[in-house]
Amino acid sequence: MTMATVNNGVNVQALLDAREALKGAPEAAQFTWRASCKWQDGTHSKTDVGGFFGLGQEQHHKTETSFDADHPEIFASNDNGITPIEYILVGLASCLTAGVAAVAQNRGVQLRSVESKLEGKMDIRGILGIDSDVRNGYDDIKVTFKIDSDAPKQEIEAIVAQSQKRSAVYDVITNPVNVTVEVV
Amino acid sequence: MTMATVNNGVNVQALLDAREALKGAPEAAQFTWRASCKWQDGTHSKTDVGGFFGLGQEQHHKTETSFDADHPEIFASNDNGITPIEYILVGLASCLTAGVAAVAQNRGVQLRSVESKLEGKMDIRGILGIDSDVRNGYDDIKVTFKIDSDAPKQEIEAIVAQSQKRSAVYDVITNPVNVTVEVV
């Protein structure tokens, strides 16, 4: 009997090797991710992401990418890009999805498709300063996955739960992060 | 004597009018922001952002935008997009920048340029599961603004502080948000 080869496109062996290597080299595990933002006009800005620091040295993405953000027309803006708060959903969706693929690969589960819908609820009376009891950000985010695979639903749920448990973006959203803002 | 007209491109009057209108209509202030994500291969995904709900009805951005995310080559991935955790910096940068422009407009301060650099520090021993005392996400994010304006530095600092105080993304990152993940 031959085992079907599971291939979700994730090189799990490389990740397991990295885990072994970094166990003895905690300083190489210190990463700094970076972005540079330039105001354009009104609420429109462009943010560039290109280089970062990790494994003890400067690293570069294959290409530098620029992201437009703006407010929508119903806020009397020009809608030259998605709103800043929607970028949070992009980060969460992609982090959990990459995790699902990696965990499934590690557990020998072949995926055919992984789709998710995200909804973030926000009461804009917070950002408008109408009611100081209303927070500025999301009250609540709901992520719904639809995954096509031969694995039983229970196994798929366990894969999604493990992805959540190891997700950098899920951690940032569900737990407080210290942010310092300075003017030079 | 004539006052110079301050124009940062933000329609502050429309925002003040919205504040007045929403004071008496809290249900119109309930927004739902959305994203849909599709796994591509490996750690690569595409997330689409187009429609949202607010002011009591369905709303649409002028265009639907698709965002690629992936892991970099040093994690044995194909780097088909920035990493999910970098999208958090894009959201934070653009949210604070839009706020700076809006607050400056409201205070009658003309801006010539607003630039910011963001750095997010992360110990990847968290996501690799090497040390359970290391968190998955950012330990710390630093935002450094460089703003060109005739206003005194103290006034610029007060504008940046007010932007922080009203920023949806700053709130999401610095405070916990409830996230529910389901599989259908």
**Smallest CA–CA separation between B75 and chain A, in Å?**
7
User: For B142, how many CA atoms within 13 A lie in the half-sphere containing its CB?
Assistant: 8
Contact B95 A84 (CB under 8 A): yes
pLDDT tens digits along A130-165: 999 999 999 999 999 999 999 999 999 999 999 999
Residues of B in contact with A102 (CB under 8 A): 43
Mean pLDDT of A2-23: 86
Q: How far from the centroid of its chain's Cα atoms is residue A29's Cα? A: 19
pLDDT attached to residue A1: 43
The strands making up A111-123's β-sheet, listed across from edge to edge, are B57-69, B44-54, B30-41, A111-123, A140-149, B178-183
For residue A3, the distance in angstroms to the closest alpha carbon of chain B comes to 21
- Is B117 touching A (CB cutoff 8 A)? yes
CA B49, distance to chain mean position in Å, is 14
For the segment B126-142, what is each residue's pLDDT rounded down to a tens digit?
Answer: 999 999 999 999 999 99
Tell whether B168 is within 8 A of chain A (Cβ).
Answer: yes
Q: Closest partner residue to B11 among A70, A76, A182, by Cβ?
A: A76
Helix H or strand E encompassing A163: helix A153-165
CB contact under 8 A, B166 and A127: yes
Its pTM stands at 0.97
The pLDDT tens digits along chain B (184 residues) read 445 689 999 999 998 999 999 999 999 999 999 999 999 999 999 999 999 999 999 999 999 999 999 999 999 999 999 999 999 999 999 999 999 999 999 999 999 999 999 999 999 999 999 999 999 999 999 999 999 999 999 999 999 999 999 999 999 999 999 999 999 9
Residue B162 Cα distances to B90, B143, B149, B170, angstroms: 19, 15, 17, 12
B96, A181 Cβ separation under 8 angstroms: yes
User: In chain B, whose CA is at the least distance from the CA of A124?
Assistant: B29
Give the CA angle between residues B116, B118, B124 to the nearest 5°.
Answer: 170
What is the reported pLDDT for B5?
86
Is there a contact between B177 and A141 if contact means CB atoms under 8 Å apart? yes
Establish whether this prediction's ipTM goes over 0.90.
yes
